[in-house]
Amino acid sequence: MSEKEEAEYLINIENNLVSREKIDIKDKNFEKVMFLYRAALKQLKTKIDILQEEMKLFSEYEPVEYVTMRIKKPENIIEKLNRKNLSLTYQNMFDEIEDIAGLRIVCNFKSDVYKLVDIISGFQDVRILTKKDYMKEPKSSGYRSYHIITEVPVNFSSGIMYVKVELQIRTLAMDFWASLEHKLKYKNQQISATDSKNLVKYAKVIDGIDESMLKISNNIENSNPKLIIEAAEEKVKAKKFNFKL
């Protein structure tokens, strides 16, 4: 792409976002908008990767098991706009759908989830739009997780743009439940009342196991103050990053 083409390309993106133009998922404009979300996701993923490396290297603290990312399928974006009774415009897509780009951080213990929420909330350049603590208040399905809707800055040749990314932070145990529950419900929309009740019950059982694992971890920390987890806790708390080696 020539420089001139590239500049026009970005100007077009901006025009599309402010226009009331109808979404056409087969259109080039749709591809351009999706490019924005992919770019934002890459930016946030890089921030999380750097954070992970920093914590490992400087604090020997490794709370994250894995990170996954996904971009919502075009047909699901349309379905969601329809479900929300919104007209199918790029403007509505950009303003009203908060989970087109999604990043999930799966960590070890419940305490890690809150630590990560704190750290990410402190990122200077990432805007935090909303926080939902489904660990404190699980959904009626039994679902537990911590959700943050962020706006991530992305530098383009024509300037900076803030793009929404939904961040889900949960433990391995919560992820196990959510993944299976999603698969079971996806396969069978007409899940029976008994199965639904059982899913809620098992979510509670799994939460009990999460609590117990955290207790064991705390016991180990307390009996061995030199252990990495405690050392990390102190260092992670520090507000200013200290480059002393």
Shortest distance (Å) from residue 187 CB to ligand GTP: 13
CA distance 29 to 21: 10
List, as own/partner pairs, every contact residues 13-19 make where C-beta atoms lie below 8 angstroms and the sequence separation is at least 24, other chains included: 13/156, 14/158, 16/90, 17/90, 17/91, 17/94, 18/91, 19/89, 19/90, 19/91
User: Is there binding between residue 100 and Mg ion (CB under 5 A)?
Assistant: no
User: Is there binding between residue 207 and ligand GTP (CB under 6 A)?
Assistant: no
Number of residues that bind ligand GTP (CB under 6 A): 9
Shortest distance (Å) from residue 49 CB to ligand GTP: 22
**Footprint (CB under 5 A) of Mg ion, residues 172-191:** none
Shortest distance (Å) from residue 119 CB to Mg ion: 22
Q: Binding ligand GTP by CB under 6 A: which of 115, 144, 147, 164?
A: 147
CA distance 161 to 153: 6
User: Is there binding between residue 143 and ligand GTP (CB under 6 A)?
Assistant: yes
The verdict on whether 137 is a catalytic residue reads no
User: Is there binding between residue 81 and Mg ion (CB under 5 A)?
Assistant: no
Q: What is the DSSP string of 83-125?
A: HTT---BHHHHHHH---SEEEEEEESSHHHHHHHHHHHHT-SS
CA distance 47 to 75: 29
Phi, psi torsion values for 151, nearest 5 degrees: -125, 120
Q: Binding ligand GTP by CB under 6 A: which of 73, 182, 204, 215?
A: 182
CA angle 132, 145, 151 (to 5 degrees): 50
Would you say 178 or 206 has its CB closer to ligand GTP? 178
User: Is there binding between residue 146 and ligand GTP (CB under 6 A)?
Assistant: no
Q: Binding Mg ion by CB under 5 A: which of 51, 99, 104, 206?
A: 99
CA distance 30 to 34: 6
Shortest distance (Å) from residue 37 CB to ligand GTP: 15
> Which residue in 5, 98, 137, 166 is the catalytic one?
166
**Footprint (CB under 6 A) of ligand GTP, residues 33-92:** none
Would strands 146-156 and 101-107 be described as parallel, antiparallel, or unpaired?
unpaired
Would you say 98 or 230 has its CB closer to Mg ion? 98
CA distance 245 to 232: 15
Q: Binding ligand GTP by CB under 6 A: which of 141, 196, 198, 218?
A: 141
| 200 within 8 A of 143, measured Cβ to Cβ | no
Q: Which does 204 bind (CB under 5 to 8 A by kind): Mg ion, ligand GTP, none?
A: none
* Binding interface with Mg ion (CB under 5 A): 99
Residues near ligand GTP (CB under 6 A) are 99, 132, 139, 141, 143, 147, 178, 181-182
